[in-house]
């Protein structure tokens, strides 16, 4: 992973985690992820370190751009003892791509296409003998067979992801990963259990489950959800099912997924054939955005309102202003009035309302920052209202609130409210 920008908070590395999952699927064990700036010495030091660790495959991403600070190909070539050569066909290809890109570039004045091609010619320099991966954007990737085999990919995820598929198909990569073990991987998800509670259970399971030590268990608490990922070789499937039984015994109420499904997948399924509307205050659209992340969600999402001001709560959802005066905007009666308004105004059969104090301001002794009221209602009459105090800063409270709402939706739609 290179690019001085990945050494700053300005760019989130999305490639490391994505490639990690692809390798996991392939049964390839990922040993190290390293990031450094566009400094040849640092890039080379990391390549050397990884090679010294005896890995079979090194994947680099980034540093393939037209600007002078992009030098990954050059450094990798030197590391592999290869010279760079201009690939004429590739050069022409890049020229075409860039010219057509220029036309699409939204909002840009037309830049001299020749100058741009000159800037991109650099990208047509590839290590002699390397397998060239067709550009998805303007930058080609390369695969250099050897010990270790090195795959050089561009930084933008939109370019890297399809190009990785092409890289895996090459003989060089297939040879490099030939020795892999095929692992099984299972994921269990829970909601509402603290990580230390699970640690307790796992310590008991260690004694109770034969072969427990051959299970590679990773636990992770995120947004109030606890994820337990277990990897094991096929012969240890029995140990895993024993572990699963222990988890079910102890945490039947908290387990919501044994097949890795996300609550988002489950809610999407439960909403099939229904029509949902949202009424959001503190989350201000995050729940509606989350419900519509999936293609096809327009089939069941009618819409939603973001009612930040009290006037908007009245105008858009018909929330009685005296209700707000009496109980406050963050209260269960107001959440219930919001959810009723959402059902009615959108003619939906399912609705969720969220009103809370995301902070940092607005907290009181009785309603501290993090206080959030949720209400879920179905046209057929079922409804569920809860008030929680969520930890963290403004963005944590907002994000966590959407997760709580998804779980309350799930419980209501499965009749387990």
Q: What is the DSSP letter of 27?
A: T
Phi, psi of 283 (to 5 degrees): -80, -15
Contacts of 8 (CB under 8 A, 6+ apart): none
Residue from 144, 150, 153, 287 in contact with a copy of itself (CB under 8 A): 287
Using CB under 8 A as the binding rule, whether residue 243 contacts a copy of itself is answered as no
CB of 304 to a copy of itself, least distance (A): 4
What does the alpha-carbon distance between residue 87 and residue 83 come to, in Å, rounded to a whole number? 12
Using CB under 8 A as the binding rule, whether residue 284 contacts a copy of itself is answered as yes
Q: Considering the complex, state which of residue 101 and residue 125 has its C-beta at the smaller distance from a copy of itself.
A: 101
Given a contact cutoff of 8 angstroms between Cβ atoms, the answer to whether 222 and 191 are in contact is no
Using CB under 8 A as the binding rule, whether residue 30 contacts a copy of itself is answered as yes
CB of 101 to a copy of itself, least distance (A): 7
Residue from 235, 248, 253, 416 in contact with a copy of itself (CB under 8 A): 253
Q: Which residue has the tokens 């001299």?
A: 112
Using CB under 8 A as the binding rule, whether residue 105 contacts a copy of itself is answered as yes
Task: Say if strands 149-153 and 57-61 run parallel, antiparallel, or are unpaired.
Answer: parallel
The neighbour count for residue 54, using CB atoms within 10 Å, is 9
Using CB under 8 A as the binding rule, whether residue 131 contacts a copy of itself is answered as no
Q: Which of 209, 299, 303, 194 is nearest to 254 (CA)?
A: 194
Q: What is the DSSP letter of 367?
A: S
| Piece in contact with a copy of itself (CB under 8 A), picked from 73-81, 144-152, 239-247, 290-298 | 290-298
Using CB under 8 A as the binding rule, whether residue 103 contacts a copy of itself is answered as no
Residue from 20, 86, 169, 237 in contact with a copy of itself (CB under 8 A): 20
Using CB under 8 A as the binding rule, whether residue 288 contacts a copy of itself is answered as yes
Contacts with a copy of itself in 44-63 (CB under 8 A)?
45-46, 49, 53
Using CB under 8 A as the binding rule, whether residue 318 contacts a copy of itself is answered as no
Long-range contacts of the stretch 34-39 (C-beta < 8 A, 24+) = 34/1, 35/1, 35/2, 35/6, 35/7, 36/1, 36/2, 36/7, 37/2, 37/3, 37/4, 37/6, 37/7, 38/2, 38/3, 38/4, 38/63, 38/69, 38/70, 38/71, 39/4
CB of 16 to a copy of itself, least distance (A): 7
Q: Considering the complex, state which of residue 127 and residue 359 has its C-beta at the smaller distance from a copy of itself.
A: 359
Residue from 202, 209, 343, 376 in contact with a copy of itself (CB under 8 A): 202
Residue from 182, 196, 322, 366 in contact with a copy of itself (CB under 8 A): 196
Contacts with a copy of itself in 134-193 (CB under 8 A)?
138, 158, 191-193
CB of 196 to a copy of itself, least distance (A): 5
Q: Which of 406, 402, 278, 293 is nearest to 346 (CA)?
A: 278
Using CB under 8 A as the binding rule, whether residue 272 contacts a copy of itself is answered as no
Using CB under 8 A as the binding rule, whether residue 245 contacts a copy of itself is answered as no
Q: Considering the complex, state which of residue 82 and residue 316 has its C-beta at the smaller distance from a copy of itself.
A: 316
CB of 97 to a copy of itself, least distance (A): 11
Using CB under 8 A as the binding rule, whether residue 289 contacts a copy of itself is answered as yes
CB of 104 to a copy of itself, least distance (A): 7
Q: Which of 4, 150, 172 is nearest to 76 (CA)?
A: 150
């Amino acid at each position: 992973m290179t690019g001085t920008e990945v050494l700053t908070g300005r760019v989130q590395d999305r490639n490391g985690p994505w490639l990690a999952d692809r390798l996991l699927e392939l049964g390839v064990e990922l040993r190290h992820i390293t990031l450094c700036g566009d400094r040849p010495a640092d890039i080379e030091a990391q390549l050397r370190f990884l090679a010294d660790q005896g890995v079979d495959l090194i994947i680099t991403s980034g540093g393939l751009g037209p600007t002078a600070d992009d030098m990954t190909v050059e450094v990798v070539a030197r590391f592999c003892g290869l010279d760079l050569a201009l690939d004429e066909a590739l050069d022409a290809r890049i020229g075409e791509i860039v010219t057509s890109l220029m036309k699409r570039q939204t909002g840009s004045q037309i830049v001299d296409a020749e100058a741009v091609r000159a800037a991109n010619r650099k990208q047509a320099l590839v290590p002699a003998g390397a397998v060239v991966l067709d550009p998805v954007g303007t930058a080609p990737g390369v695969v250099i067979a050897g010990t270790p085999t090195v795959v050089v990919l561009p930084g933008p995820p939109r370019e890297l992801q399809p190009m990785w598929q092409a890289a895996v198909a090459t003989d060089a990569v297939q040879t490099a990963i030939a020795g892999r073990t095929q692992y099984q991987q299972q994921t269990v998800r829970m909601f509402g259990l603290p990580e230390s509670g699970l640690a307790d259970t796992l310590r008991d399971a260690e004694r109770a489950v034969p072969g427990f030590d051959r299970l590679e268990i990773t636990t992770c608490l995120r947004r109030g959800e606890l994820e337990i990922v277990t990897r094991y070789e096929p012969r240890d499937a029995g140990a895993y099912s024993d572990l699963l039984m222990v988890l079910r015994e102890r945490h039947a109420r908290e387990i919501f997924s044994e097949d890795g499904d996300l609550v988002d997948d489950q809610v999407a399924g439960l909403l099939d054939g229904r029509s949902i509307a949202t009424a959001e205050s503190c989350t201000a659209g995050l729940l509606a955005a989350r419900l519509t992340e999936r293609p096809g969600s327009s089939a069941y999402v009618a819409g939603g309102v973001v009612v930040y001001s009290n006037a908007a709560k009245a105008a858009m959802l018909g929330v009685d202003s005296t209700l707000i005066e009496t109980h406050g905007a963050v209260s269960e009666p107001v959440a219930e009035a919001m959810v009723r308004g959402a059902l009615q105004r959108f003619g939906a059969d399912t609705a969720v309302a969220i009103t809370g104090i995301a902070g940092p301001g607005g907290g009181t002794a009785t309603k501290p920052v993090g206080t959030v009221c949720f209400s879920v209602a179905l046209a057929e009459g079922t409804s569920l209202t809860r008030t929680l105090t969520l930890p963290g800063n403004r963005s944590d409270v907002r994000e966590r609130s959407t997760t709580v709402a998804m779980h309350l939706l799930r419980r209501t739609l499965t009749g387990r409210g």
